[in-house]
Amino acid sequence: MTLDRTLAKEIKALGGDGSREAKFSLLKRLDAARKDLSTTKVRDTFNDALRTHGRAITAVCVAVTLDVRRDRLDYWEWHWALEVIALLPRSLTRSNLERAYIADGIHPTAICDYAGEFIKLTTEG
């Protein structure tokens, strides 16, 4: 499984110029996306959040959530999540990434419903 090349470029570009300001700008964007996605109505609002925050930021939130829930999801699409996380700037620490976790308050497997199509569309092969 490989990520769509366009999405991979978008994720790599999130690091900006690598400066401290670019890092904090990225964290601010991740916080905003997480806030919009962390609702029990995420099934209905996922596409709106995707349009608002963009594919790369949304992919990071979904990837971090999949990584945290991997045991509960029988590693469903975990390789996709690892590819997304691997493309992120090295300046983001594990605790920074935890800020992107989607706390939707619904069953952990619900992410398969609302993010499944997004993952399929951003995968090549």
pLDDT at residue 23 greater than cutoff 80:
yes
More confident residue, 75 or 51: 51
Tell me the per-residue pLDDT of 62-103, one tens digit each, with 9 for 90 and over.
999 999 999 999 888 999 999 999 999 888 888 899 999 999
What pLDDT, on a 0 to 100 scale, did the predictor assign at position 79?
94
Output the average pLDDT for the chain.
94
Cα angle at 36 between 67 and 111, to 5 degrees?
Answer: 35
> Could you give the count of Cα atoms lying within 13 Å of 49 in the half-sphere of its Cβ?
28
Is the pLDDT at 38 greater than 80? The verdict is yes
Residue 44's pLDDT is what? 96
Global pTM reads 0.94
> In the predicted model, is pLDDT for residue 30 greater than 80?
yes
* Residue 63 CB burial class (10 angstroms; 0-12, 13-18, ≥19): buried
Domain-wise residue ranges, the chain = 2-124
* DSSP states along 18-58: S-HHHHHHHHHHHHHHHHHH-STTHHHHHHHHHHHH-HHHH
Q: Which of 37, 46, 57, 50 is nearest to 103 (CA)?
A: 37
Query: What is residue 94's predicted lDDT score, i.e. its pLDDT?
Result: 86
Q: 105: pLDDT confidence band, cut at 50, 70 and 90?
A: very high
Choose the weakest-confidence range: 17-21, 28-32, 54-58.
Answer: 17-21
Q: Taking 80 as the threshold, does the pLDDT of residue 1 lie above it?
A: no
